[in-house]
Every structure is written in C-alpha cells, then in structure tokens.
Amino acid sequence: TGGFDVAAIRRDFPILSRQVNGKPLVYLDNGASAQKPQAVLDAMDRYYQQQHSNVHRGAHSLGDAATVAFEGARETVRRFLNAASTREIIWTRGTTEAINLVANGLTGKLSAGDEILVSHMEHHANIVPWQMLAERTGATLKVIAITPEGELDQDSLKQQLSERTRVLAFTHVSNALGTINPVAELVARARAIGAITVVDGAQAVPHLQPDVQALGCDFYAFSSHKVFGPTGIGVLYGREQLLEELPPYQYGGEMIERVSFEKTTWNALPYKFEAGTPAIAEAVGLGAAIDYLNGIDRAALEASESALIQRAHELADSVPGMRIIGTARNKAAVMSFLIDGLHPSDIGTLLDQQGIAIRTGHHCAMPLMDFYGVPGTARASFAFYNTLEEVEQLFTALQKIQRLFV
C-alpha cells in the first residue's frame, strides 16, 4: 500500500502486535484514539527518568531541562501547523478544552442579534460550547445543513452565513462521516463578512497536515491522542491578535504577570491561557509523535490511506444489506456503516470476538445521527499503519456475521 513500508511502520507500534480474544489485533478505532509509536513512549520515559521538574520556575538545572523540552515541543507543534509564532500555540487538555476556551472567551463580545454558525455534522464538542455561549449572550445558534452524501449544503451555507454571523465553527474532517470540508474556502467566505472562524481539527491532523496560515482560520484545535501522541494534552492555535483580545480561561499560577489583592495582570501569550502546572511529559510525547510523523513520507501516507478507504468502499457491496453513511467526494479514511437486520453495537461485539476493534454508537454527533434517522452506526476508522489485509479481514468478518446472524 503506497510508497512506504507498512510492516516496518507497524513494528514501531508495540500494541499492534498483541492479540485480542485470541486473534491478532486489527485496530480500526483510530478515530476514537490512535496508538502510540515506541518513539513517543521512549520520549516520555526519558523525560521522567532524566529531565522532570516543574517548568518556567527552576532555579536549577532540571527546571531548565524540563522547560527546554516543554517549549521545544511547542516549537515542534508550531512548525507542524505552520503557525507564525509559538505565542499562537496554546496547550490545552484536548480539542474539547480548546473549543471551550474560545467559546468562553467570546462571552463578553456577543449579544442578542448576533449569530453563531455551526454545521450539522459537528461533534458535540463543537456544538455544546457554542450553544452555551448563545445562551449566555442571547446570540442565536444557526446550523448549516448537509446533503445526504454528508457534504455541506452550499445553498444552506449561502443562506445562513450573513452579516449577523459572528462566529463560524466547523470541523475540518467529520469524525462520523469522514467528510473533508473545504476549510480555506469556508474561512475566506466567513472572513469576508468579518466572522471569527474556529476549525475543529481533531480528525484532520492524523490524516492531513494543516497549514493554518494557508487555511487562514482564526482558531484551529486538535488533540494529541488522535495524532499518535499521549492523552491529556491538545493544542489551540489562535491568531495572535485575537488571542490578545480574548480574556484568560482559567486563573492561577503561571498565567499572571503581577498579582496583588487589588489587581492582577496577565502574563504574555501563550502563558496567559495556561494556568497551573501543565502536562509536561505529555507535551514532550506529542512533540515526539509529530517528529515521528515528520519522518514519514506524507504523500505516501495519504496515498496509502486513500487506498484503504477506497478498498473498504469497494468491498461494501460484498456484504448483503450493508449501507455506508457518508459518501462525500473528498473523504478521509473513515467508514460509518449499517447492516440491515443487525444493531451496530452487535456488529461491534461480534467483530471484537475476532480481534477487530471498531466503534459503534452516535459518535458524539447526535444531531448528525438524527439527520440520517439512525440511533448510531458502526465505524471503522483507519490510520497509516493499517493494511489492505486488515480491510479484507474486516469484510470477511462482516460477511460471516451477516450470514450467521441475519
């Protein structure tokens, strides 16, 4: 599959060689969380064994070593996203916290008559914070409709995006459908009417390499654990000027410049948004994950993933009653599906018995499930370490399940 050695890549991920329920693990739940290469585990181990201390405080060498490792990881993320400055790279707990940080910060800036626009395919993390912002401010939450294929409906977009739109928040890649949205185009339209753009990059970063300056967005959020790094850390990219205008999200140590009982002033970016001791080892781990990704031929990675999803779509016809939800022209390696006569959760359980891990349910996208009139789907989500053989194993298992249980 493509121009790189998948077998060698798989050896970099220790968990991929384990067995589950007596069968070799076929891990197709990467959309929920991706596995970690040895390089990430080693970097975190090395950090704790050799460099750990608190950051930005040390009157001692370990404090300096920890700070260098931590800030080095921030620079690695900056380069990965092509942000202009590390002042624009804020560590968060993940995509969820990153979006909440922005939505919270906009509280004083919106009022009745303003509109916040999201799409119908959003994850709850990119719906609920906006819904609550609307509730706090009197603004109205509006929704861009989608087509049955799972693409943004252009007529609806035209209708909903207006002078009243203050925020346009949408996902780069849909976690439930795989749809890749045309970010640069959407951002350009929003900017033309002066709206702030917030892009949920959680499902994009494992597949694509976003260039925030080329995309032109004001904010871009992602989670480390979906991009082969550890859990517990994520990133908010924000345009410097907007971050300057946004109030802090949490208050305490690290985020202050000067504290007195009468008045407190804020630290400079990015620290203004990083109250308390941060996830230091996790930042180091995320940096190592990006370094690892940087060592892989991007074009080959993308070609390999395209081959996986294309093969999966071809094989869908081989399972009677199978229906794919999400058939956008531009689509990442994510396949949501249903099989007539089988509940998605039963599909998940029966596949697990064969060592195949997928996700079932509403995928934190209940409005999207409502649009398709289903309570949930089964979802296989692929990473660059998956193989065509694994796609075939998935379908062999699905054919068997369909034969035995329908």
Q: Which residues bind ligand PMP (CB under 6 A)?
A: 94-96, 123, 125-126, 171, 175, 200, 202-203, 223, 364
| Cα–Cα dist 135/133, whole Å | 5
Is the CB of 67 or the CB of 95 nearer to ligand PMP?
95
Least distance from ligand PMP to the Cβ atom of residue 40, Å: 16
Least distance from ligand PMP to the Cβ atom of residue 57, Å: 28
Helices (H) and strands (E) in the chain, counts: 14, 17
Out of 364, 368, 380, 383, pick the active-site residue. Answer: 364
| Cα–Cα dist 295/293, whole Å | 5
Is the CB of 30 or the CB of 393 nearer to ligand PMP?
30
Is the CB of 51 or the CB of 203 nearer to ligand PMP?
203
**CA distances from residue 62 to 49, 336, 396 in whole angstroms, order as listed:** 11, 47, 53
Asked if 364 is an active-site residue, the reply is yes
Is the CB of 29 or the CB of 114 nearer to ligand PMP?
29
Amino acid at 96: T
Burial string for 163-187 (b: 16+ CB within 10 Å, else e) reads ebbbbbbbbbbbbbbbbbbebeebb
**Exposed / middle / buried, residue 190 (Cβ in 10 Å: 0-12, 13-18, 19+):** buried
Q: Which of 376, 345, 350 is nearest to 362 (CA)?
A: 376
Least distance from ligand PMP to the Cβ atom of residue 77, Å: 15
Least distance from ligand PMP to the Cβ atom of residue 172, Å: 8
| Cα–Cα dist 20/122, whole Å | 32
Least distance from ligand PMP to the Cβ atom of residue 49, Å: 27
* Alpha helices, DSSP H, located in 193-318: 212-215, 240-245, 280-294, 298-315
| Cα–Cα dist 307/119, whole Å | 28
Is the CB of 142 or the CB of 172 nearer to ligand PMP?
172
Q: Catalogue the active-site residues.
A: 364
